Amino acid sequence: MTEMCTFLPEVLRFPDLAVARIRFGDQVFTSPGFLETPWSLMHAFETPGQGKGSIELFYRELNEKTYQQPFLPREQHLVGNLAALIAGSVSEKALKKLLSQYTERMKELRGINQTTKILEDSRNMEEALQRICNILPDAMQYPTATVASITYNKKRFVSPGFRESEWKLKQRFELPDHKKGVIEIFYLENFPIEFEGPFLKEELELLENIASLISGSAIRDVFKKLNYE
């Protein structure tokens, strides 16, 4: 539950302003820097034979983008789904498995949110690709045994401690100037077989989404230049 609390703020639009709390029976779990405020989203749940609980998200403060609608419908849906899934767990073992699976899903969402912000904030594509490489390992199932690289325009950007291995996941992308690139994830150890080798389906989908974000960001830049010319 503690790990879940840590990840929950990361799937919101403004993770730096968000905190989370999960109540489960007599236990209370909170994310770092927790502060209860009036700007909250809460879903209650009750598990068979295990007691009641709730999932709560708070914004510590509001900005001009969150003032009218602090929590987006997709964020409300995500928390509601998590509460419903916890409520449906019939045993402690099932609950632990569920939380593990949902944690991986939230890692994926966090990676997408971080990539979106990087693409918005970076001065150029090369800077963005290096920063994306640096955050990709944390979005994977085994972050301490993961490295990443992005090859684009005859340059290769790599995460710290990079080296290749036989356990690889690859996703290609193409920008409007027809220059192509490839995102690669390597596990540095041999892990159990999952969806594609040792990689989860969610990890494959993450790379597909990040490739789409990179391509989409480049397309937006082209339109901006056309509008200014």
Same domain? For 143 and 62 the reply is no
Three-state secondary-structure class, residue 195: coil
Same domain? For 10 and 44 the reply is yes
Q: How confident is the model at residue 228 (pLDDT cuts 50, 70, 90)?
A: very low
pLDDT in tens, 32-86: 889 999 888 898 888 766 678 888 999 888 766 655 677 877 778 777 777 776 6
Same domain? For 168 and 199 the reply is yes
Last residue of a domain, one of 58, 90, 122: 90
pLDDT for res 169: 92
Same domain? For 9 and 85 the reply is yes
Q: Is the pLDDT of residue 26 over 90?
A: no
Task: Provide the domain limits for residue 149.
Answer: 107-228
pLDDT for res 104: 67
Last residue of a domain, one of 35, 65, 90: 90
Angle of the 125-135 helix axis to the 201-228 helix axis, nearest 10: 160
Q: What is the CATH number of the domain that holds 147?
A: 3.30.450.40
Distance in angstroms (rounded) separating the CA atoms of residues 68 and 125: 33
pLDDT for res 93: 57
- Residue 142 included in any domain: yes
- Residue 98 included in any domain: no
Q: Is the pLDDT of residue 222 over 90?
A: no
- Residue 99 included in any domain: no
Same domain? For 78 and 162 the reply is no
**Mean per-residue pLDDT, 90-102:** 57
**Mean per-residue pLDDT, 5-13:** 77
Percent of the chain with pLDDT over 70: 80
Lowest mean pLDDT among 57-66, 131-140, 167-176: 57-66
- Residue 95 included in any domain: no
Query: Which residue, 12, 78, 70, 92, is CA-closest to 43?
Result: 78
- Residue 132 included in any domain: yes
- Residue 96 included in any domain: no
- Residue 31 included in any domain: yes
Neighbours of 155 (CB within 10 A): 11
Distance in angstroms (rounded) separating the CA atoms of residues 38 and 147: 40
Q: Is the pLDDT of residue 91 over 60?
A: no
Same domain? For 176 and 150 the reply is yes
Lowest mean pLDDT among 4-8, 25-29, 167-171: 4-8
**Mean per-residue pLDDT, 183-203:** 89
Q: Is the pLDDT of residue 182 over 70?
A: yes
Burial of 28 (0-12, 13-18, 19+ CB in 10 A): middle
Q: Is the pLDDT of residue 220 over 70?
A: no
Lowest mean pLDDT among 32-36, 134-138, 221-225: 221-225
Q: Is the pLDDT of residue 151 over 90?
A: yes
- Residue 101 included in any domain: no
Domains identified in the chain, total number: 2
Same domain? For 32 and 120 the reply is no
**Mean pLDDT, the chain, as a whole number?**
80
Last residue of a domain, one of 59, 90, 121: 90
